């Protein structure tokens, strides 16, 4: 037991409880235990071995107050020198330091000082201490000095950040501090302290002091820092190898249909009238697989990136520019392509035969949506009015595409789904510097439907070819109902949302690694027939093929999230740019609404219960392009609007309305404004649910959901960004 001073009759004690020192008044004693009342009124049972001092005066509260004050005045270095090398009781050292007859407050102060200075003294038991060895003391003091210096630096950095200045120590570390911080560094602690002081986010602090140039740069930098830490450039892979001499020249004049800014043109069409009332439809896909081999340097690049990344006004291509330039289906020359020829009856469009072959395909024209959508309407195609390139071919393809669409709808009905309804509005983003133009575009235009149906036809037919040859491929399969109903796999299975028996992404090999892999496999089928599985780069049960599927899904989802984030950013920028004080929106579900003029889905607090499609007028209270939030208030319920209802009434709660609605249409822009995911998933329709401005309701792969697919483009002529959706 610790030695206790003997002052005669005592009613108060100074004791240790839970590692700290306290004082209280004795109410009763039973053996070696005391019932004590603390100054705050709390009562506690204290064992005798925990009592360090017994005293009559001062009062317990006054004792603690005096002891705290005295302990701050104790010179710990001098106290350490006064202390013996061996273990000692605190009362003994109090006599050495304060002199014989040290008062109760002085003894208590010394106990507090010893307990609070583990650098100088080690606790050896209740009331017992031993001074630290000199070597350890010096090392500990040096560490304390460093910490004090760091604390001073941290405080200085925080003050500079609060004042809007970026400390030199933080320069070059901005992205790391925001996106992958080491929270033990003084730089991050200073940024965090500045954030807490100002009530701003760390990103807002960094923007205010110039560490990040703009909110746009902040959102882009977060994605690039994680997925492209070494930059978006390509290593030198040398000139592209294009085996043109080994390929026959096709007897067609093909044409592509894309957005004005598309550079990765990977599909073109042709159609010829044959004797006996037959049509020969050609679907020609750029063939980089002819010059890229599995495992070579370009394959490694493509497999690392897995897909072209699209966002409004920007894109990061999967393949180097030299490879894209060599294989893109640019007009004016014959280009290497993998062609699917479909022979059908001209009267009912029943399939007669198919043929797949690698060849050089003359590309006569690159048609552009921006220039032709207003001219090539359903009415113009029906009555032959208007003048435009490849008029005869388009007039032949239009009813064929309609027939293919109708057959898919019948298959969807057989799966228990409702038909697709092409009555939603897509949006194109055009970015010029910091100015954004958001243009609506109705889905289901003739050029859209032609491209979409030809792509679906190619992907389903080629999926069947892979299965018949016993060659593994990468398929998109979808059930009509159920959780996780859309999946990627290496064996053929129905895609019920599209109404096809199998579906293998194969029409975008310049932009998606899955399509490049499938093209390798298809080339083996075209060249070797039933022995293709022996010659194909990926053999049955190839573990590397499963790994590619897994990697692709992860990358594609991350890229889609980035695109969604940037689409939301540009929608909010548009609200600020146009100085929108009020906006009109359509009710989706509950208090979730979608703006009519931009693909932005938001929450309208206090909206109440309204039918889907009800028109709402909203006051815009505030917009934050850093946190990507907008504050709205319901100004007026306008009622049901015919246009808005048409856009959202085709509910897909049953998993319906799948469709490719723009395989290379990429969100209604049919260029790189929609290029990436082929309209976003299995293609166009599921992309709606994937855009940042859309609130997915079904999460289906090819299900339109409730929000428009946002196609993006650059008004300055730079490449457009596609509407890409997660797999």
Phi, psi of 452 (to 5 degrees): -65, -45
DSSP 330-355: -TTEEEEEEEEEEEEETTT--EEEEE
- Cα 55 to Cα 18, 23, 96, 108, distances in angstroms: 21, 10, 21, 11
As given in the structure block, the two tokens for residue 212 are: 């990040």
pTM confidence score: 0.76
| Coil, strand or helix at 486 | strand
d(CA 678, CA 554): 17
Segments of the chain with pLDDT less than 50: 1-8, 642-727
Sheet holding 128-131, edge to edge: 88-89, 128-131, 121-125
Q: What's the pLDDT score for residue 483?
A: 61
Torsion of CA 105, 106, 109, 111, to 10 degrees: -110
In terms of Cα–Cα distance, which of 61, 56, 102, 104 is closest to 79? 102
As given in the structure block, the two tokens for residue 374 are: 């207003």
Torsion of CA 582, 585, 587, 591, to 10 degrees: -40
Q: What's the pLDDT score for residue 641?
A: 60
Q: What's the pLDDT score for residue 607?
A: 85
Phi, psi of 364 (to 5 degrees): -85, -25
CB 706 within 8 A of CB 695: yes
Domain boundaries, the chain: 12-132, 152-212, 254-559, 580-640
| Coil, strand or helix at 29 | strand
Q: What's the pLDDT score for residue 694?
A: 29
Tell me which CATH code domain 580-640 carries: 2.40.50
As given in the structure block, the two tokens for residue 503 are: 């579906």
- Cα 435 to Cα 233, 328, 667, 708, distances in angstroms: 26, 30, 21, 21
Q: How far is Cα of residue 91 from the mean position of the Cα atoms in its chain?
A: 64
Q: What's the pLDDT score for residue 725?
A: 27
Q: What is the three-state SS of 152-208? A: HHHHHHHHHHHCCCCCHHHCCCHHHHHHCCCCCCHHHHHHHHHHHHHCCCHHHHHHH
Q: What's the pLDDT score for residue 722?
A: 30
């Amino acid at each position: 037991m610790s030695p206790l001073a003997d002052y005669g009759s005592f009613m108060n004690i100074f004791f240790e409880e839970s590692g700290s020192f306290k004082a209280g008044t004795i109410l009763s004693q039973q053996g070696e235990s005391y019932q004590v009342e603390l100054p705050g009124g709390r009562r506690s049972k204290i064992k005798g071995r925990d009592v360090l001092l017994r005293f009559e005066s001062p009062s317990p509260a006054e004792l603690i107050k005096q002891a705290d004050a005295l302990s701050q005045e104790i010179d710990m270095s001098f106290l350490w020198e006064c202390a013996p090398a061996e273990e000692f009781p605190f009362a003994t050292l109090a006599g050495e330091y304060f002199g014989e007859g040290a008062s109760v407050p002085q003894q208590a102060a010394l106990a507090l000082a010893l307990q609070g200075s583990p650098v100088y003294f080690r606790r050896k038991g209740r009331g017992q201490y031993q001074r630290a060895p000199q070597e350890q003391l010096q090392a500990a003091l040096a560490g304390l000095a460093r910490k004090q210096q760091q604390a001073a630096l941290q405080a200085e950095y925080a003050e500079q950040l609060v004042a809007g200045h970026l400390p030199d120590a933080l320069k070059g570390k901005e992205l790391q501090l925001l996106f992958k911080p080491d929270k033990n560094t003084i730089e991050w602690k200073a940024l965090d302290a500045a954030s807490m002081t100002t009530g701003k986010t760390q990103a807002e602090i960094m923007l205010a002091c110039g560490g990040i140039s703009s909110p746009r740069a902040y959102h882009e930098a977060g994605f690039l820092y994680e997925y492209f830490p070494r930059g978006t450039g390509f290593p030198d892979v040398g000139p592209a190898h294009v085996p043109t001499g080994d390929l026959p020249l096709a007897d067609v004049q093909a044409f592509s249909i894309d957005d004005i800014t598309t550079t990765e043109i990977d599909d073109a069409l042709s159609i010829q009238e044959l004797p006996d009332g037959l049509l020969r439809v050609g679907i020609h896909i750029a063939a980089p697989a002819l010059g890229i081999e599995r495992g070579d340097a370009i394959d490694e690049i493509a497999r690392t990136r897995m897909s072209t990344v699209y966002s409004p006004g920007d894109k990061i291509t999967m393949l180097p520019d030299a490879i894209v330039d060599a294989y893109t289906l640019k007009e004016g020359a014959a280009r290497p392509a993998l062609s699917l020829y479909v022979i059908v009856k001209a009267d009912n469009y029943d399939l007669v035969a198919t043929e797949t072959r690698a060849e050089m395909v003359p590309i006569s024209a690159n048609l552009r949506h921006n220039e032709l959508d207003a001219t090539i309407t359903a009415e113009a195609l029906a009555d032959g009015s208007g003048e435009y390139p490849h008029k005869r071919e388009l007039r032949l393809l239009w009813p064929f595409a309609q027939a293919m669409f109708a057959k898919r709808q019948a298959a969807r009905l057989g799966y228990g789904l409702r038909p697709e309804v092409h009555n939603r509005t897509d949006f194109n983003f055009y970015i010029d510097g910091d100015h954004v133009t958001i243009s609506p575009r109705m889905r289901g235009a003739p050029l859209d439907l032609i491209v979409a149906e030809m792509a679906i036809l190619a992907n389903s037919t080629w999926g069947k070819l892979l299965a018949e040859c016993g060659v593994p491929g990468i398929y998109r399969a979808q059930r009509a109902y159920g959780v996780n109903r859309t999946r990627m796999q290496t064996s053929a299975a129905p895609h019920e949302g599209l109404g096809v028996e199998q579906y293998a992404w194969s029409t975008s090999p310049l932009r998606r690694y899955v399509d490049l892999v499938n093209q390798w496999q298809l080339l083996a089928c075209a060249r070797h027939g039933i022995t293709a599985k022996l010659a194909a780069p990926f053999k049955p049960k190839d573990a590397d093929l499963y790994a590619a599927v897994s990697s692709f899904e992860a990358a594609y989802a991350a890229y889609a999230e980035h695109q969604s984030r940037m689409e939301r950013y540009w929608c909010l920028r548009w609200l600020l740019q146009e100085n929108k004080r009020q906006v009109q929106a359509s009710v989706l579900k509950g208090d979730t609404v979608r703006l009519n003029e931009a693909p932005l889905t938001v929450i309208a607090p206090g909206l109440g219960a309204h039918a889907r499609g009800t028109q709402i007028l909203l006051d815009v209270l505030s917009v934050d392009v850093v946190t990507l939030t907008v504050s709205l208030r319901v100004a007026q319920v306008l009622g049901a609007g015919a246009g808005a209802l048409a856009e959202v009434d085709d509910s897909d709660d049953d998993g319906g309305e799948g469709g490719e609605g723009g395989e290379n249409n990429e969100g209604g822009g049919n260029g790189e404004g929609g290029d990436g995911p082929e309209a976003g998933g299995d293609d166009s329709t599921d992309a709606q649910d994937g855009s940042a401005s859309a609130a997915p309701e079904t999460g289906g792969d090819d299900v339109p959901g409730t929000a428009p697919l946002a196609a993006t483009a650059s008004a300055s002529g730079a490449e457009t960004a596609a509407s890409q959706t997660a797999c």
